[in-house]
Structure 1
Amino acid sequence: MNDLIVVGSGLGGLCAGAIAARQGLEVLVLEAHTTPGGAAHGFRRGPFQFESGPSLWSGLGRWPSTNPLAQVLRAVGETLPVATYRDWGLLLPEGALRVGVGQGPFLALLRELRSPAVAAEWERFLTALKPSCDAARSLPLLALRPGAGLATTLGGGNALRLLGQAGRLASLGGAFGPIARRHLSDPFLLHWVELLCFLISGLPMDQTSAAAMATLFGEWFEPDAGLDYPIGGSGAVAAALVRGMERHGGRLRTEAPVAEILVERGRAVGVQLENGERLEARRGVIANTSPWDLLSLLPDEAVPSRWRRRQAATPACASFLHWHLALRGDDLDHLPIHHVWVGDWQRGIGAERNMVVLSMPSRLDPSCAPPGHQVLHGYTPANEPWELWQGLERGSAAYDALKKERCAIFGEVLSQVLPDWQERVVIELQGTPLTQRRYLRTHQGSYGPAWPASSGPFPGGTTPIDGLVLCGAGVFPGIGVPPVAVSGAMAAHRFVSARQQRQLLEDIGLMDF
């Protein structure tokens, strides 16, 4: 029998399993798909390795790091080789731009694109934001402990120092939009903040967490700011978490879809797989599922109807279109790793097919493609409406026609930087919200819950069922790689003592933040 069963091997579930195993619990992680990682994954077609997960990573290639994922990896004895880069391309209504990550390069861009006065406005904004960024970065997120607070894990001196930051931390409890508008008036600067917010959360800045954005600005606008690409892509991140978990005795089972979370006398006692197999857990179950998908795993009588209705009413972000290309291209070293395209600021940053991200990971990781070739991943970040696809059958004539029509936006954008791309194509693959739902088993192919920060924080990971804890993008701190890593660690630490959690923080050097 296991101590803990984790349902789902997204990054949140893998972090939960890794930390729980590191803390000495017998852990089994169950995954319906053939490979772990959830949205953080890739796949191979012939000699080409396609990336299909997060495209923007940071804080993985150095230590100490404020990135909770890097902290979890360190806790289980894993490191990741990364390639670091420092600029990206922008295809905006203002024109085609290339900008470095960090404060200096962006200020230089603003002086040229807008005016020295606008650059000065941005500099004042960052100066005003810096104390909040420092406060956000002063909090070791792996120290978060539900209910008991931070004092039990940080200890007296560290807790008192954190108390001194309480006012600034409290100011980060809502949405980022009011903070941005308090300091910025230039339209381009406000559009830029809106773009960053949407890339991070799938929500406009008036609904994006101020704490999440303070953390982002704290990392991106340091003098030595840069972005990382994990060699091997998203799949390498998931594999590292699995290795770390297994090193400490945890286990992963793939192709093991869960049909039901077993509840007896109000307590989660295990799961039943779709093949009828029953697996028991002494301590409880961690569910790395969406709020909507969780409901289908729970017996109707196991949870109060009010809680069930609240879960079902969780607002959802829109879905994605995906585009994967293998290209002949030994002459593409001049291109940046990423291009972010925005069609029309006035339509709103979340309008359908109004933003596209194109990434070429083979520029950093040659193992993705054979010599003389590149691979490209394009996606529309959480702006594709599910309603267009609802009721269609994959492979039908109507589905194929709509897929071709909707995915044409990718070729239109790529033509702006690579006009002859069609002559270079070796493989072209297209994905839709139905693809997203099929492979990730996500409700409506959604990016995740769309809880607006202006209405309060994401829900916590507790449930009305004793021993059933949630993690992933549906619970606090929310959507994105660092938040789901935090949620996974918090879920695991619900099953161990505060003393054990504190010892882990000391072991990896987080007590001297």
Structure 2
Amino acid sequence: MSNTDVVIIGSGVGGLCCGALLARYGYGVTVCESHSLPGGAAHSFERNGFKFDSGPSLYSGLSYSPSANPLRQVLDAIGEDLNWVNYNSWGCYLPEGNFDAEVGSKQFEEVLLKLRGEEAVKQWRQLLKAIAPLSYAVMTVPTASLRSDLGAILTVGKFAPALLPYLGNAWQLTGAFDQVIKGIVKDTFIYNWLNLLCFLLSGLPMEQTSAAEVAFMFADWYRPQVALDYPLGGSGAIIDALVRGLGKYGGKLQLSAHVSEIIVENRRAVGVKLKNGTIIKAKTAVISNASTWDTLDLIPPTALPPSYRHQRASTPACDSFMHLHLGINAAGLSSDLGCHYVVLKDWQITAPQNLVAISIPSVLDPALAPPGKHVIHVYTPATEPYQLWANLERSSTTYQKLKQERSEVMWQALEKIIPDIRARCEVTLIGTPLTHARFLRRYRGSYGPSLKAGKESFPGPYTPVSGLLCCGDSTFPGIGIPAVAASGMIAANSLAPVTKHLALLRDIGY
């Protein structure tokens, strides 16, 4: 048995952000990770000298401070950073044609003018004008100020005067983004483009994606002199920075430490039990970075009201992924190869086998691969039905055959960029929803909850069990890195005394 102030279950970005901030606030923190590597869906792994990102690969707002990106705010708070390389576009293979999409509003206007004409440009400018007050509202209140108790009156309230000019529009942030564009966007390509961006942001179509998420994205991507970021060392470098920050303030990370149970005594979470029998007692709180479904499995049946358990267990889940991780011979490839591409068959964006995302990060960071080689990550984002795989044995010939069949769409998409890709491969790894579930501890291999903006709400950090909080993609809208970083920050802030929270805001420039 060991003792600490706070036990955190899972070392995904949300759990590490929460743990590092709590350690900075002065709490004793132990983070328990079931995998042998930290990072959850953002961890990196190596094969034969190739270093792969397991998950996220598109970053922005991280290479400068102050920034509205919650992860950047966490890094500033714990005094950690890493080296970034910048770029400004990704390749698009869409039904209307192929082009490079650059961040920045003027650049996209050039694409619209070429593909759709002056009327489309006019609508785009009207859209930017309508979104501007929402973007300003989102950017005015830093995520670092948020907490889920009455202390928010002081931490968020300090930004109220600056927010006043935008309150007339701010109500739209609570709904779905499709309501923002009504009466403005009539051009079908702009509509479809926005729908694609929403899906890539949240795993949901536009009519279900939070307007606040999209307003944040527009504020970040469609401003002057904007650039996208990639961390040298891959996504694992971000995890390394968070782990350093955790350790700097005395926090501990335990790997291969699988939590089998949350210990509840007298209706209060008081610690966790590991699979190997070890008990870690928590004086202040237990915080779960596991998904809502997996967290429920850890809580004793009698500790939760049946209605709450049923409600959370019934949370709909986004679909899963197919993955290709490839290490290739890069000899003779074009020097203008891009880092990112999206390949879309048609505008039924959420249809299985329709949308493919491609990342070639060694274009930006050659150290990710041996000399003369590239690493490539290809995936179908949140469109692979788990039910196709649910009852298969991983060792079966049926499973192996289905892997080959369902990965073919990714090979074909990649062949549009590198026609002889199959002959170049030196490392080939095919991941399925079962892989996603096994290595990332993802319920049904899911991208996360499928909660419709304006109709269904995320629960935030608190649970009916005293002393048990949650963070991660099950608690805060938006599934990508900014959202899970925000969730970890909010959970940490909600435990911290308001005086320490206000001091942290001053320390990072707010």
Q: TM-score range by the shorter chain?
A: over 0.9
Check if 1:93 corresponds to 2:95. Answer: yes
TM-score of the superposed pair, with normalisation by structure 1: 0.97
Alignment check: 8 A CA contact 2:104 2:221 kept = yes
| Corresponding letter in the other structure for 2:502 | R
Residue 213 of structure 2 is matched in structure 1 by 212
The size of the alignment, in residue pairs, is 507
Q: Which amino acid aligns with 2:294?
A: D
* Distance of 1:495 and 1:409 partners within structure 2: 46
The aligned residue for residue 281 of structure 1 is 282
Per-residue deviation, residues 257-286 of structure 1 (Å, max 9, x unmatched): 000000000100000000111110100100
Q: How does 1:177-326 map to 2 (within 5 A)?
A: 177-326=178-327
Q: Which residue of 1 aligns with 2:341?
A: 339
Match in the other structure for 1:422: 422
Compute the displacement of 1:477 (Å): 3.4
The answer to whether the 8 Å contact 2:59/2:228 transfers is yes
Q: Which residue of 2 aligns with 1:61?
A: 63
Aligned to 2:116: 114
Q: Matched residues in 2 for 1:3 and 1:166: separation?
A: 39
**Residue number in structure 2 paired with 1:144:** 146
Once residues 282 and 68 of structure 1 are traced to their aligned partners in structure 2, the CA distance between those partners, rounded to angstroms, is 28
1:122-141 aligned at under 5 Å gives the runs 122-141=124-143
- In 2, Cα distance between equivalents of 1:184 and 1:229: 32
AA aligned opposite 1:339:
Y
Which residue is equivalent to 1:170?
171
CA contact (8 A) 1:28 1:250 kept: yes
Whether the 8 Å CA contact 2:327–2:425 is kept in 1: the answer is: yes
Secondary structure in 2 aligned to 1:320? strand
Bigger Cα displacement from structure 2, 400-409 vs 468-477: 468-477
Compute the displacement of 1:149 (Å): 5.7
1:444-490 CA-to-partner distances (Å, cap 9, x unmatched) read 00000001103043222211100000100001234111111111011
Equivalent pair of 1:462/1:470 in contact (CA under 8 Å): yes
- Of the structure 1 ranges 143-152 and 240-249, higher mean CA displacement relative to structure 2 is found in 143-152
Alignment check: 8 A CA contact 2:172 2:180 kept: no
Q: Structure 1 CA distance, aligned partners of 2:164 and 2:502?
A: 18
Stretch deviating more after TM superposition (109-118 or 315-324): 109-118
Does the Cα contact within 8 Å between 1:290 and 1:448 map onto a contact in 2? yes
SS in 1 for 2:38: coil
1:362-418 Cα shifts (integer Å, max 9, x gaps)? 000111111111111001110000010010011210000000000001111111121
One-letter code aligned to 1:415: E
Per the TM alignment, residue 154 of structure 1 is displaced from its structure 2 partner at its CA by 4.4
The TM-score normalised by the length of structure 2 is 0.98
- Please tell me whether the aligned partners of residues 81 and 230 of structure 1 are also in contact (alpha carbons under 8 angstroms): yes
- Cross-structure match for 2:39: 37
Gapped regions of structure 1 (runs ≥ 5): none
Structure 2: distance between partners of 1:117 and 1:163: 33
Distance 2:357 2:435 in 1: 18
Inter-partner Cα distance in structure 1 for 2:495 and 2:101: 45
Structure 1 residues 69 and 166: CA distance shift in structure 2, 3 A:
same
Indicate the residue corresponding to 2:441 in structure 1: 441
Task: Please tell me whether the aligned partners of residues 60 and 80 of structure 1 are also in contact (alpha carbons under 8 angstroms).
Answer: no
Does the Cα contact within 8 Å between 2:177 and 2:209 map onto a contact in 1?
A: yes
Separation (CA, whole Å) in 2 of partners of 1:218 and 1:226: 12
* Distance in 2 separating the partners of 1:406 and 1:391: 16
Map of 1:349 onto structure 2: 349
1:218 maps to amino acid: A
Structure 2: runs of 5+ lacking an equivalent: none
The range that moved more, 89-98 or 24-33, is: 89-98
CA distance in 2, matches of 1:97, 1:129: 25
Equivalent-residue separation in structure 2 for 1:274 and 1:264 (angstroms): 19
Residue type at the aligned position of 1:59: G
Q: Tell me what 1:46 maps to.
A: 48
Distance 1:168 1:268 in 2: 41
Deviations 1:38-77 (A, max 9, x none): 0001210111111222111001101111111001011111
In 2, the alpha carbon distance for the partners of 1:389 and 1:304 equals 32
Percent of paired sites with the same residue: 47
Distance 2:227 2:359 in 1: 16
Q: Deviations over 1:294-344 (max 9, x none)?
A: 111010011111111011100000000000111111433212111101111
C-alpha contact (below 8 Å) 1:17/1:245 kept by paired residues: yes
The equivalences for 1:450-469 within 5 A come to: 450-469=450-469
2: CA distance between counterparts of 1:242 and 1:473?
20
Displacement of 1:226: 1.3
> Whole-Å Cα distance in 2 between the matches of residues 483 and 100 of structure 1?
23
Q: For the Cα contact (< 8 Å) 1:174–1:457, is it kept in 2?
A: no
User: Displacement, 1:182?
Assistant: 3.1
My pick for the range that moved more, 176-185 or 319-328, is 176-185
Distance in structure 1 (CA, Å) of the matches to 2:170 and 2:476: 16
1 CA distance for matches of 2:372 and 2:487? Answer: 41
Distance 1:182 1:136 in 2: 23
Structure 1 pair 285–2 and aligned structure 2 pair: CA distance change class (3 A):
same
Kept in 2, the 8 Å contact 1:362–1:374? The answer is: yes
Q: Could you tell me how far apart the structure 2 residues matched to 1:243 and 1:27 are?
A: 13
Identify which range, 474-483 or 495-504, moves more after superposition. Answer: 474-483
| Amino acid in the other structure paired with 2:424 | R
The separation in 2 between residues aligned to 1:111 and 1:478, in whole angstroms, is: 31
Q: Which amino acid aligns with 1:189?
A: I
- Give 1:105 deviation, angstroms: 1.1
**Residues in 2 aligned to 1:493 and 1:100: alpha-carbon distance in whole angstroms:** 36
Asked if the contact 2:90/2:340 (under 8 Å) is kept, the reply is yes
User: Is contact 1:174–1:456 with CA below 8 Å preserved after alignment?
Assistant: no
Q: Which range moves more in the overlay, 424-433 or 176-185?
A: 176-185
> Is residue 2:65 matched to residue 1:75?
no
- Please report how far the alpha carbon of residue 145 of structure 1 lies from its aligned counterpart in structure 2 after TM superposition: 1.5
